[in-house]
Amino acid sequence: MKNFALIFAAVCLCAASAGFSARAAEPCMHPAMTATVLTAPTCTREGTQLFSCPRCGFSYVGAAPKAEHTPQTVPVIPPTCTENGLSGAAVCAVCGEMLSAGEILPALGHSFGAWETEKTATWVSGGTDRQTCIRCPETRRRTTQKLTHLAEEKCPLGDTDMDGAVTAADSRLILRLSVGFNDGLDTLQKENADLDKKDGVTAADARTALRMAVGLEQIIPFLKPGYTFKGYTKNNYKLAEKDGVTYVVSDYGYTLIANKTYSLPASYTPYAFKGAEPEPDSLLGLTEECRAAFSDLQSGAKKDGVSIWLLSGYRSYNRQKRLYNNYAGRDGYAAADKYSARPGHSEHQTGLAMDVNSLSSSFAGTKEGRWLAANAHKYGFIIRYAKNKEAQTGYIYEPWHIRYVGKDLAAAIYHSGLCLEEFFGITSVYR
């Protein structure tokens, strides 16, 4: 009993020292808990910490909140030709989490530079051009057309690139061709490079072309095989000769000329006749093209209520000789020369000319004559010896005499108001 009393007294003293009354113990409210970090938190996970009451010793383990991110600005990612870029983005320097999306910079697209020749086009085949992006290695290509040149009639002999003139560049092409370098020339150009038409293309041809380019030799126009260059007309058309027959070479083709200046051989005929020579009032002596055109002309006249018929077509050299001599014997040579051609100088011998309807000057005033004057060119014919052109043609006005020259040339002459001699710049004078 004595021991119990001592223990009770000790408990009471302890309770008094702890602030409790002897009557009842009050619970601790843990007014100021202290925290001790056990596991440090990061920006991606919580940590742990120990909470303790300094008064009563009570403690427990709780979560430590995540740490704040550490912002770091992402360097600008520039856009490329094909991919978007990024500006103003931010990430956490610790965990790398995207904190700010930033602004998307759209792809730039390719920016191609100038076209460059990758494969040179020639007169035989096309070439290739290449274009490269100035920001990246991307390239694109296009096919170029093969080179073109003027028509052969527009190019003088030696004009190897066929641009219409003989230059030092042509001489170089010919020289390279002579030693085996083709340079993509086509067949026509190779033929044009052979100036002397013998032994193929040689260095001598290149020398001749160079002399032509600097004016030391006459430039010879390119002509069809068999034609010989005879110079230029006053209007700068080429004159060519084949088998003794003269032609004016132009954009309208090779126009046969027979007048007082330019004659035909006695043996010339439009084509090889089978059997006897055709009569003058027969269409058989005319060229096939001329016959077809005259047939169209007659059909056109008929539709307009007009009748056109043939009086005299082809005449041979000998027939014209007899006719001219008869006129000269009757009226004298000076008078006959005004209305009749000497043998070899008559257009009737060409098979391209004819007299129609009436050999009277009054024919011009008839409805047939007026129709012919106004419409012949539509079918390829011209009134060959026009009114008030005697000084140029060498003959009196013949409204009945028509000459086939082709529709394009006939229309050009008709609308020019010129006769054939004036149009081409040639003379018609006996020498």
Quote the tokens at residue 297: 């002309």
What residue ranges do the domains of the chain occupy? 152-222, 238-424
Q: How confident is the model at residue 40 (pLDDT cuts 50, 70, 90)?
A: confident
Rounded Cα gap, residues 395 and 11, in angstroms: 167
398 is catalytic: yes
Quote the tokens at residue 228: 């010989």
Rounded Cα gap, residues 260 and 23, in angstroms: 164
How large is the average pLDDT for residues 115-136?
A: 90
For residues 404 and 226, the model is more confident at 404
Is the pTM higher than 0.85? The answer reads no
Contact of 201 with 172, CB cutoff 8 Å = no
Indicate the average pLDDT of the chain: 88
**Residue in 70, 79, 34 with CA at minimum distance from that of residue 55:** 34
Query: pLDDT at residue 63 above 80?
Result: yes
Least confident span in 50-64, 316-330, 332-346, 363-377? 50-64
Confidence at residue 287, expressed as pLDDT on a 0 to 100 scale? 93
Rounded Cα gap, residues 273 and 220, in angstroms: 35
Quote the tokens at residue 233: 């007309």
Confidence at residue 18, expressed as pLDDT on a 0 to 100 scale? 45
Q: How confident is the model at residue 275 (pLDDT cuts 50, 70, 90)?
A: low
How large is the average pLDDT for residues 211-220?
A: 88
Q: What order do you get walking across the sheet with 47-52 strand by strand? A: 34-39, 47-52, 59-64
For residues 207 and 25, the model is more confident at 207
For residues 26 and 135, the model is more confident at 135
Segment 234-251, tens digit of pLDDT:
999 999 999 999 999 998
Which of these is catalytic: 347, 368, 398, 421?
398
Query: pLDDT at residue 8 above 50?
Result: no
Rounded Cα gap, residues 339 and 324, in angstroms: 9
How large is the average pLDDT for residues 193-220?
A: 88
Confidence at residue 261, expressed as pLDDT on a 0 to 100 scale? 97
Beta-strand relationship, 85-87 and 98-100: unpaired
Quote the tokens at residue 411: 């229309």
**Residue in 61, 68, 54 with CA at minimum distance from that of residue 38:** 61
Rounded Cα gap, residues 128 and 120, in angstroms: 7
- Architecture of the domain spanning 152-222: Orthogonal Bundle (1.10)
- Architecture of the domain spanning 238-424: 2-Layer Sandwich (3.30)
Rounded Cα gap, residues 188 and 124, in angstroms: 11
Confidence at residue 12, expressed as pLDDT on a 0 to 100 scale? 41
For residues 271 and 113, the model is more confident at 113
CA 357 distance to own-chain centroid? 50
Give the residue carrying structure tokens 């007299």.
355
Query: pLDDT at residue 98 above 90?
Result: no
- Would you report the helix, strand and coil content of the chain in percent, each value rounded to 5? 30, 20, 50
How large is the average pLDDT for residues 182-206?
A: 86
Contact of 175 with 185, CB cutoff 8 Å = no
Confidence at residue 3, expressed as pLDDT on a 0 to 100 scale? 43
Segment 279-338, tens digit of pLDDT:
877 888 899 999 999 999 999 999 999 999 999 999 999 999 999 999 999 999 999 999
Q: Over pLDDT 70: what percentage of the chain? A: 93
Q: How confident is the model at residue 71 (pLDDT cuts 50, 70, 90)?
A: confident
Least confident span in 82-96, 268-282, 322-336, 378-392? 268-282
For residues 239 and 148, the model is more confident at 239
**Residue in 188, 200, 122, 196 with CA at minimum distance from that of residue 155:** 188
Query: pLDDT at residue 7 above 80?
Result: no
Query: pLDDT at residue 177 above 70?
Result: yes
Q: 275 burial class (0-12, 13-18, 19+ CB within 10 angstroms)?
A: exposed
Query: pLDDT at residue 17 above 80?
Result: no
User: Would you list the DSSP string of 245-311?
Assistant: EEEEEETTEEEEE-SSSS---TT--SS---SSPPPTT-GGGS-HHHHHHHHHHHHHHHHTT----EE
Amino acid at 54: P
